[in-house]
Chains A and B, each alone.
Chain A
Amino acid sequence: MIRILRQIFRTGIVTEPLQPDLEADIREVGTRLEEAIRKKFRRSLTIRQVDAGSCNGCELEIHAMNNPIYNCERFGMHFTASPRFADLLLVTGPVTQNMEIALRRTYDATPSPKLVIAVGDCGCSGGIFGQSYASLGGINKVIPVDAYIPGCPPTPTALLNGIFKAIS
């Protein structure tokens, strides 16, 4: 136990000391984000992430948003296990033929009003996979999309920025 406490104490809060340029970015986005979340979502924005066919690259970066350095929960957003509790669907793509039905059902299970953000180049347009027998292309081919976050994969900062744009 003493080792754990020592490690926690020694590590301190890593969320703050970033490289100056990144830190400025995150802080700016974060402040705006917090304000919007406070006003529009009563302080809590609940996100359900759906992988509709991605290569797992976008998922790694969405995970990174939750790490202590980006610490997205400090802005009042958090990830939920069920679409029933979600305000926002964060969908990575391309939508595969085999995931289309599951994606539609997840969308239908999310209570209105809801927002959908397409994440990554593949989520936005189908990316390198395009449209084929197995891939239907971007998320907007299957469900209505409110905002797009391009990138292969988008960085955690780009994700935070994109979510802010979508809710403001």
Chain B
Amino acid sequence: MLKETIISVFGEEARFESSQQPLSVASCVVSRDRFAEAAKVMKKAYALLAAEWAADETAFGRGFGVYACYRWGAEYLIVKTELPADDLWFPSLTKKFVPAFRFERQIQSLMGITPTGHPDIRPWIKFEDWPADAWPLRKTFDASKPLPRVAGEYAWVRAEGEGVYEIPVGPVHAGIIEPGHFRFQALGEDVINLEARLGYVHKGIEKKFESLSWKDGAQLAGRVSGDTTVAHSIAYCMALETMTGCNLPERAYWLRALFLERERIANHLGDIGAICNDAAFAFMLYQFARLREMIVRMNNKLFGHRFIMDRVIPGGVTVDIDAAGKKEILTEMDILSKDFEKLVVIYDEHSSLEDRVRDTGILTPERARELCVVGIVARASGMNLDCRIFNPFPPFDRHDYIELDVPVLISGDVHARSWIRIQEIRESIRIIRKFLEDMPEGEIAVPPALPRPDVSGFAAVEGWRGEIIYWLQSGPHSELNRCMVRDPSSVNWLALELAVLGNIVPDFPLCNKSFNQSYSGHDL
């Protein structure tokens, strides 16, 4: 659909490239002048912006590339424009697609390419005390040296007027959570503006990838966001495998799917408990924490790591499951399911909890679409998105066998986001049982191959937060030239800022917990 639309408008002027893998993800190059026009065409075709990034391609004797990835249903389309190395600007897409707002600030801050027409080019992730000409993602940048600090100030958005006051929060928060800064402008108890400032946990991950071997990259991918280690390593490995044309044994895919669903259950359990706890219902926190601990312990027992870290590698997985292990998981699922359902009834019947979670932190379906959010946040706001349906890897591609029921609600409040999690846990329990029953026999890994020079690979995997995108590009000597990571948090954080408007300040923790976005996955 999207590909045909681009061809119908651009004709010969959109040059399709075959170096992009898998071939189902079309990639075309348009001239810089028509880059924004392509976005307009995509918008009209009802597409969403999935990611926007830049790559330094000087190693190939070219300039820089700016990429925008659009999604509609199951189809992904990448539109690229090429920039000469001495004239680095491109037309901003922010007016067409809101999420481009932060993607482009990031491109400007880390790659030094100017999005012309962008309404707000304050640096993002790059702090005010970095030297202005430090562009870490450029090949000429020496990443091994520490940065000198310079004087600078961040220009906050300010609301002014009688009775308006400001509450700065973070980066060191009151709980055991990751660092980030939130600045509220409030009038009485009502939030009239919230501005988040992220970037505190920027560890230079995308740059680090470029110094690692393809194999070690999987380990780093597993540490982009520690709570989503399985999904991130699967996405990285799948992007790499499409580049090398590596065919995995069926069993390896099934085991990956099993790990992915276990990760989903563990994190959703933790989240539901934490949401209830932020509504002062500590009973639920401890009950769910107990169930979560049961899952991670079983992971440790069967797969050797509580979060199944480093068990997914390029070419397959490192651990198998035997008949005894299957039996243990089935028993575990029975216990989980029984206890879980009891707690769901309590959640559902508790009116004081309902009072807090209903109609709080509403992200309307219109706004969700405008912001191109993904994952649980999108599904709680009426968007039917799930890579397990639209962009599946085996066994998820056998829709008539899995019969995955993706929950979608339209109220977009804290309750909807919890309820989506509850329904997803039920589904995950059901499909884990199915996986164990019908898992094909065979090898669990094949030796990985190296990609050819100058090819790129793309993968999208549904982690527990939502769609994770990896885009890899091999350099002239088959080395890793660029790794773009798009955690769901990169788009969903902006939605939180808008969802809390008009809510009272004490409800912010509740809203924040219901989104539970990753700081590390966003800051990279």
Contact = CB atoms under 8 A, between A and B. Distances in A.
A42 interface: no
Contacts of B177: 51, 59
Nearest to A152: B309
Contact of B224 (A52, A55, A82, A136): A55
Interface stretch (A31-39, A63-71, A160-168): A63-71
Nearest to B288: A67
A99 B309 CA distance: 25
A132 B342 CA distance: 49
A79 to B, nearest CB: 6
Nearest to A56: B226
Label chain B's interface by main secondary structure.
loop
Nearest to A50: B172
Interface in B468-524: 518-520, 523
A51 B201 contact: yes
A81 B349 CA distance: 32
Given A8-B283, A67-B289, A69-B290, 11 more contacts: A4-B283, A53-B203, A56-B178, A59-B177, A96-B202, A128-B220, A129-B223, A133-B136, A133-B141, A134-B203, A153-B307
A82 B175 CA distance: 9
B204 interface: yes
A98 B199 contact: yes
Contact of B226 (A3, A14, A64, A153): A153
A86 to B, nearest CB: 11
B203 A133 contact: no
A135 B200 CA distance: 11
A140 interface: no
A98 B226 contact: no
Nearest to A126: B203
A55 B225 contact: yes
A21 B133 CA distance: 56
Given A133-B204, A135-B204, A54 B520 contact: yes
Nearest to A48: B172
B242 interface: no
B287 interface: yes
Interface string B224-240: 11110100000000000
A128 B286 contact: no
B520 A55 contact: yes
Interface string B303-331: 00011010000000000000000000000
B351 to A, nearest CB: 11
B208 interface: yes
B147 A97 contact: yes
Among A54, A82, A132, chain B packs the most CB atoms within 10 A around the CB of A132
Contacts of B292: 67
Contacts of A52: 179
Nearest to A99: B200
Contacts of B226: 54-60, 153
A124 B508 CA distance: 34
A68 B290 contact: yes
The 7 A-B pairs with the shortest beta carbon distances in the complex, nearest first, are A57-B226, A134-B204, A81-B174, A67-B289, A55-B226, A56-B226, A55-B223
Interface in B135-176: 136, 141-147, 171-172, 174-176
A69 B204 CA distance: 36
B342 A7 contact: yes
A14 B293 CA distance: 11
B379 interface: no
B146 A131 contact: yes
Nearest to B177: A59
A79 B202 contact: no
A136 B204 CA distance: 11
Contact of A134 (B136, B229, B307): B136
B175 to A, nearest CB: 7
A132 B144 contact: yes
Contacts of B227: 56-57, 60
Contacts of B144: 131-133
A67 B273 CA distance: 11
B134 interface: yes
B307 A51 contact: no
A125 interface: no
Contacts of A54: 178, 201, 226, 520
Interface string A95-120: 01111001000100000000000000
Interface string B409-426: 000000000000000000
A46 interface: no
Contacts of A62: 176
Nearest to B229: A57
B207 interface: yes
A132 B178 CA distance: 21
Contacts of B520: 54-56
A126 B140 CA distance: 24
Contacts of A4: 283, 346
A51 B346 contact: no
Contacts of A57: 223, 226-227, 229, 307, 309
B343 interface: yes
Contact of B307 (A11, A60, A81, A106): A60
Contacts of A69: 289-290, 293
B309 A51 contact: no
B108 interface: no
B276 to A, nearest CB: 12
Nearest to A80: B174
